[in-house]
Every structure is written in structure tokens, then in C-alpha cells.
Amino acid sequence: MDFDTICDEILNSNDQIRYVGIYDYGELYDKMRPGISSYLSKEETEISLSQAIYRWSTRKKTVSKIGKPIFAMAKYEKIYRITIPIGGAGLILVTAELNANVNEIVNKILEIQSKHSDKINENQF
């Protein structure tokens, strides 16, 4: 699967998106909007993503009772941070500006994720 293409699609879907990363089986594929500096170093981003993967694994423990988790979002003082699972152990991480319409962004990411999910699942085996 060409995760760079997925990153480009998500980044180009909304001007308020700052960063897109896909973390899959220990590999990070990411893109930053040109002209924007990251708040975190590459290493800090990878640590943050590995922690997010762990949080997703704990969310899966309640699937039988409340259903499958679709996305998670946090609002920080400087950004919104959205995480969405992709593939078997993958996770999409998107950061957006505080003035962004995050519901619109989430819906678009879910469309892109759905469009690519068959291809991603095929490549898992």
C-alpha cells in the first residue's frame, strides 16, 4: 500500500490540516503542510504514535460491549489531534489548527480510510 498517497490525499483534503502520519508495524509515513513547523521532533512524534497505538489496543477491549472504536480526538492548547485505525496494527494521526472544522476533517479522513481499506487489508497478509 502506498501510504504516501494516503497521506497526500488527507493533507490535501483540508487547508487546516497541519500534519498527517500513518504508523504501521513500526514504520512511520508522514507529511507536513509546507511552510509549517512541527511542534514535535520526529522522535517525539514516533513515541507519541506508539503510545497512541497502545491506547487503541485498550479501546478494543470493550468492543463487545460498546462497539468498535472509529476515531479519537483530543484538543490541545495549540492543535487538534485525531487518530483513526487503519489496517491491522496501523494508525492514522492527523493534527489540525484550532480554527478547523474537525467534524468535517474526521468525515473526510474516514472516507479516505474506507476507500483504501480493502487495499490495506490485502497487504496485511
pLDDT exceeds 70 at position 46:
yes
pTM over 0.75: yes
> Any alpha helices (H) in the chain, and if so which ranges?
3-12, 42-59, 63-66, 102-122
Q: What per-residue confidence (pLDDT) applies to 67? A: 93
What are 5's three cell numbers?
498517497
State the pLDDT confidence band at 11, using cuts at 50, 70 and 90.
very high
pLDDT exceeds 80 at position 121:
no
- Is the Cα torsion angle 113, 116, 121, 125 positive or negative in sign? negative
Q: What per-residue confidence (pLDDT) applies to 24? A: 83
Question: For the chain, which domains are there?
Answer: 3-122 (3.30.450.30)
Which tens digits make up the pLDDT trace of 61-97?
A: 889 999 988 999 999 999 999 999 887 778 999 999 9
In angstroms, rounded to a whole number, what is the distance separating the alpha carbons of residues 63 and 67? 4
Q: C-alpha dihedral over 9, 14, 19, 20, to 10 degrees?
A: -30
